[in-house]
Amino acid sequence: MMVLSSTARAQARALEARSAGAAIGLVPTMGALHEGHLSLVRAARRDTQFVVVSLFVNPTQFGPGEDLDRYPHDLEQDRRKLEAEGVDLLYAPPVEEVYPSGYQTYVELEELGRRLDGASRPGHFRGVATVVAKLFNIVQPHRAYFGQKDAAQVAVIRRLVTDLNFPVEIVVCPIVREADGVAMSSRNAYLSADQRRAATVLYRSLEATRSRYSSGERSGPALVEVLRQSLASEPLARIDYCAVVTPDTLLPLTMIRSRALVAVAAWFGQTRLIDNTLLGD
Ligand code: PAF
């Protein structure tokens, strides 16, 4: 596995592989890799001949007072994991390489970027869309892999690809969960033992909502109420949002007629976790 911090060299290497006829797969990450990330890498390894993983803790997607400074990182451990998965290129640039002095171009999704996590974290999706657009231009992948856990991010990236005509296929991989149902997340590392136990309420609430849907409930507000009440049963959880929305627009659904995204965000102490499930077909 080649490890490059230089954008010019990473771009040249990916373009060289593309010219040689390889399908390029990109897995964008912020490091602190867990099985969720590795499932994306494995999907890319299965589908494409040249797998690029980017590892960059993107400062522009963190708001003031968020966890940018304490975001977990261990480049050497991540490097070993990716090497073992047969990744071809690890692109791990420093901040100045991505946002050099004088940088001033950003990508903003006017409405979608302000829904769900975009409402709770103003500017977050502007940072995500900007860095993902840059990664697409640098690596020029045929396919890019994202996790369903970040469902709002998936909607934003699909819209970005459509709106800016990126010739990239977006592949979304299922949420990977711990044995007790907690979705894998780099931020789980912040939780105390009590908070980690409490975090199981997220999956339980989603399952309670799914079960009510399976019994025939189709009203969005009624399902949101099931979700909210189930979450409220855990004293260590402070709800950020509970939502039943259309998966691509992230707009609230009054009645579920086809697919619905049930999404939740909650604080456990200083740590904000998200989770979701898809209903319907
Ligand atoms: O999902 C993430 O880890 C980040 O938002 C991404 C897509 C790597 C952009 O920084």
DSSP string, 70-83: G----HHHHHHHHH
Cα 226 from Cα 145, distance rounded (Å): 32
Residue-wise pLDDT tens digits, 59-89: 999 999 999 999 999 999 999 999 999 999 9
Ligand 1 centroid to Cα of residue 128, in Å, is 6
Of the candidates 163, 157, 155, 175, the one whose C-alpha atom is nearest the C-alpha of residue 251 is 155
Using the predicted structure, report yes or no on whether residue 171 has a pLDDT greater than 90.
yes
Long-range interactions of 3-8: CB distance < 8 A, separation 24+:
3/79, 3/89, 3/90, 3/92, 4/89, 4/90, 4/91, 4/92, 5/91, 5/92, 5/93, 5/94, 5/97, 6/93, 6/97, 7/91, 7/93, 7/97, 7/98, 7/138
Q: Is the pLDDT of residue 2 over 90?
A: yes
| Cα–Cα distance for residue pair 277/268, rounded to 1 Å | 20
The whole-number pLDDT of residue 281 equals: 80
- What are 210-264's pLDDT values in tens digits? 999 999 999 999 999 999 999 999 999 999 999 999 999 999 999 999 999 999 9
**From the CB of 61, is ligand 1 less than 6 Å away?**
yes
Atom of ligand 1 nearest to the CA of 61: 10
Query: Is the entire prediction scored with pTM above 0.95?
Result: yes
Q: Spot the catalytic one: 34, 37, 73, 124.
A: 37
**Mean pLDDT along residues 29-54:** 98
Atom of ligand 1 at shortest distance to CA of 150? Answer: 1
Residue 113, exposed/middle/buried by CB under 10 A (0-12, 13-18, 19+)? buried
Between CA 29 and CA 34, with CA 32 as vertex, the angle to 5 degrees is 90
Query: Using CA atoms, how far apart are residues 46 and 54, in angstroms rounded to an integer?
Result: 18
Q: How far apart are CA 249 and CA 152, in angstroms?
A: 9
Pairs from 250-253 (Cβ < 8 Å, separation ≥ 24) = 250/112, 250/115, 250/116, 250/152, 250/155, 251/115, 252/220, 253/220
3-state DSSP helix/strand/coil % of the chain, to nearest 5: 45, 20, 35
What pLDDT, on the 0 to 100 scale, is given for residue 136?
99
pLDDT higher than 90, residue 40: yes
CA separation for the pair 235, 258 (Å, rounded): 34
Per-residue pLDDT reduced to its tens digit, 103-160: 999 999 999 999 999 999 999 999 999 999 999 999 999 999 999 999 999 999 999 9
Q: How many A from CA of 254 to the centre of ligand 1? A: 30
Q: What is the pLDDT of residue 17?
A: 98
CB of 117 closer than 6 A to ligand 1?
no
